[in-house]
Chain A
Amino acid sequence: MSRYEVAFRVNGEERRDSVRGEDTLLRTLRELGHVDVKTSCEAGDCGACAVLLDGEAVNACLVLTAQADGCEIVTVRGIGTEGNLHPIQRQIVEKGGVQCGFCTPGIVVAAKALLDRNPAPSLEDIRRGLAGNLCRCTGYQKLFEAIVAAALEMRG
């Protein structure tokens, strides 16, 4: 079976792997230890595996790893760290936007992409911006509140 050499940056660090044609970016990232990218539906329906691929939020389960060769990838760990949380992350914690936590990495990535494009979103913009991310615990309300607060904070 043919294997393909790929190299990309994940959260600023160079990563290399030898992959099969059908391997998805989600599976490769997790095998490389980036388990902050979550596996759930693997069909593009839930958003748990969202990453920034060259700055755009995408479902990592829908990208062939070979297609990401040479790209810049950011996962939730690249957005903020435990000692230095991004405002989106801190506000999600403060507003109680985390229950089981499984959707949280994808939500943070989608919210980051939304605020990068639109620093002053309306509530409707936020709802639409998170439309590809399922959360089965929070009912979304606290997540929306957190993103409103993060946007305010980031605009100063």
Chain B
Amino acid sequence: MDYVRAASIEDALVAARWPGAAFVAGGTNLVPDILFGRKKPGLAVDISRLRELRFIEERGGRLRIGALATVTDLLESDRVRKAAPPLHESAVEFAGPLVRNRATVGGNLLDASPAADLAPPLLAQDGEAELISVEGPRSLPLASFFLGYRQTAVRPGELLSAISLRPLGPGDRSAYQKLQLRRAMAISVVSVAAALWMEDGRCAEAGIGMGAVAPVPYRSWAAEAELRGRVVGETEIESAAAAAREEARPIDDVRASAQYRMRMCGVLVRRLLRRALGLSAPPREL
């Protein structure tokens, strides 16, 4: 494998046109994929020193996160903690500190695992991916970013530069949970992020991000539709939970059965909406 270190974004975009080129940043997925023969790039384009892609800022009313922000950066950011609590919580649950110090936001999304930890919270807050190539920039809603199992809409030669989010304010509500078989270094069994933007006691806008229950992480439009524009109470929560459960298309694997995962979609959506709205836990969850 050849290696080139990009000194600028322009450099990286030119190198990326080489046949068999792959970007490498934190390397937490790509380096073992190469070692174990799962991926065989002909050229690694090292973008890890492009400082201009490592930032967390507020811009145009959105929270904007550079693709090279690490998971540790997310975890330690006050902006993320305040404006995107589910993303902060997903960073807390992400792998362990050794991996968090290297793994980047862009890499987690581009790896396109159905269980990508950062995807549900980014989807729930209306995430939008910013892409650049020699042809120019374009942006893409994160909900249209994942095309299939480990497939994204990113074209060859395109660089994911940033993700922007709709921020949550002090009066808005949110919650996150990752079901996992141990408390760290675990691939999620099911993960859900919920964000509710409130206006006069009504849910003006809702985002529900689902992970590990379909070939791709996705927004549960069906669950969101039961919440948007409504005063959310028990009835709305039950409808949203049922919609999320019906929409899920999970598989059986070593971590859990499809049946369990489907059931947990309903349980988690119900639990997170109750938690977000400050309602007490229901007496019986299943």
Q: B1 at interface (Cβ–Cβ under 8 A)?
A: yes
Q: Say yes or no: A63 contacts B184, CB within 8 Å.
A: no
Q: A84 at interface (Cβ–Cβ under 8 A)?
A: no
Considering the chains assembled together, what is the distance between the CA atoms of A88 and B99 in angstroms?
Answer: 22
Kindly list chain B residues whose C-beta atoms are within 8 Å of the C-beta of A2: 2-3
Q: A80 at interface (Cβ–Cβ under 8 A)?
A: no
Q: Say yes or no: A62 contacts B32, CB within 8 Å.
A: yes
Q: A42 at interface (Cβ–Cβ under 8 A)?
A: yes
Q: Say yes or no: B1 contacts A44, CB within 8 Å.
A: no
Q: Say yes or no: A62 contacts B26, CB within 8 Å.
A: yes
Q: Say yes or no: A24 contacts B185, CB within 8 Å.
A: no
Q: Say yes or no: A131 contacts B1, CB within 8 Å.
A: no
| Residue from B31, B72, B184, B185 having most chain A Cβ neighbours under 10 A | B31
Q: Say yes or no: A62 contacts B183, CB within 8 Å.
A: no
Q: Say yes or no: B36 contacts A67, CB within 8 Å.
A: no
Q: Say yes or no: A64 contacts B99, CB within 8 Å.
A: no
| A interface residues, tally (CB under 8 Å) | 32
- From A7-15, A51-59, A91-99, A148-156, the one touching the partner chain is A51-59
User: B117: shortest Cβ distance to chain A, in Å?
Assistant: 14
User: A104: shortest Cβ distance to chain B, in Å?
Assistant: 15
Q: A29 at interface (Cβ–Cβ under 8 A)?
A: no
Q: How large is the interface on B (under 10, 10 to 19, 20 to 34, 35 or more residues)?
A: 20 to 34
Q: Say yes or no: A131 contacts B185, CB within 8 Å.
A: yes
Cross-interface CB contact of A132 among B1, B36, B185, cutoff 8 Å: B185
Nearest residue (CB) in A for B70 is A56
Q: B24 at interface (Cβ–Cβ under 8 A)?
A: yes
| Residue from A20, A129, A131 having most chain B Cβ neighbours under 10 A | A131
Q: B46 at interface (Cβ–Cβ under 8 A)?
A: yes
Cross-interface CB contact of A57 among B5, B43, B101, B184, cutoff 8 Å: B101
Cross-interface CB contact of A24 among B35, B46, B99, cutoff 8 Å: B35
- Contact residues of B between 67 and 110, Cβ < 8 Å to A: 72, 95-99, 101-102
Q: A73 at interface (Cβ–Cβ under 8 A)?
A: no
Q: Say yes or no: B32 contacts A43, CB within 8 Å.
A: yes
Q: Say yes or no: B184 contacts A132, CB within 8 Å.
A: yes
Nearest residue (CB) in A for B35 is A42
Nearest residue (CB) in A for B96 is A132
| Residue from A42, A62, A113, A129 having most chain B Cβ neighbours under 10 A | A62
Nearest residue (CB) in B for A45 is B185
User: B172: shortest Cβ distance to chain A, in Å?
Assistant: 28
Given contacts A22-B1, A64-B27, A131-B184, contact A47 B96 (CB under 8 A): yes
Given contacts A44-B99, A56-B101, contact A63 B31 (CB under 8 A): yes
Kindly list chain A residues whose C-beta atoms are within 8 Å of the C-beta of B28: 44, 59, 62
- Contact residues of A between 98 and 137, Cβ < 8 Å to B: 110, 113-114, 128-133
Considering the chains assembled together, what is the distance between the CA atoms of A54 and B172 in angstroms?
Answer: 39
Considering the chains assembled together, what is the distance between the CA atoms of A63 and B96 in angstroms?
Answer: 16
Kindly list chain B residues whose C-beta atoms are within 8 Å of the C-beta of A24: 31, 35
Q: B44 at interface (Cβ–Cβ under 8 A)?
A: yes
Q: Say yes or no: A21 contacts B99, CB within 8 Å.
A: no
Nearest residue (CB) in A for B31 is A62
Q: Say yes or no: B46 contacts A110, CB within 8 Å.
A: no
Q: Say yes or no: B1 contacts A59, CB within 8 Å.
A: no
Q: Say yes or no: A132 contacts B98, CB within 8 Å.
A: yes
User: A4: shortest Cβ distance to chain B, in Å?
Assistant: 6
User: A141: shortest Cβ distance to chain B, in Å?
Assistant: 16
Spell out A's residues near B (CB within 8 Å).
2, 4, 20-22, 24, 42-45, 47, 50, 56-59, 61-64, 66-67, 69, 110, 113-114, 128-133
Besides A66-B46, A67-B27, A131-B96, 20 other CB < 8 A contacts? A21-B1, A21-B2, A22-B35, A24-B31, A45-B185, A47-B98, A56-B101, A59-B98, A61-B32, A62-B102, A63-B27, A63-B102, A64-B3, A67-B48, A113-B97, A129-B97, A131-B184, A131-B185, A132-B95, A132-B185
Show 11 residue pairs from A and B whose CB-CB distance is below 8 angstroms, ordered by the A residue. Answer: A4-B3, A44-B32, A44-B95, A57-B97, A58-B102, A61-B32, A64-B31, A67-B24, A67-B48, A113-B97, A132-B98
The 6 closest A-B pairs by CB, nearest first: A132-B96, A131-B184, A21-B3, A131-B96, A132-B98, A21-B1
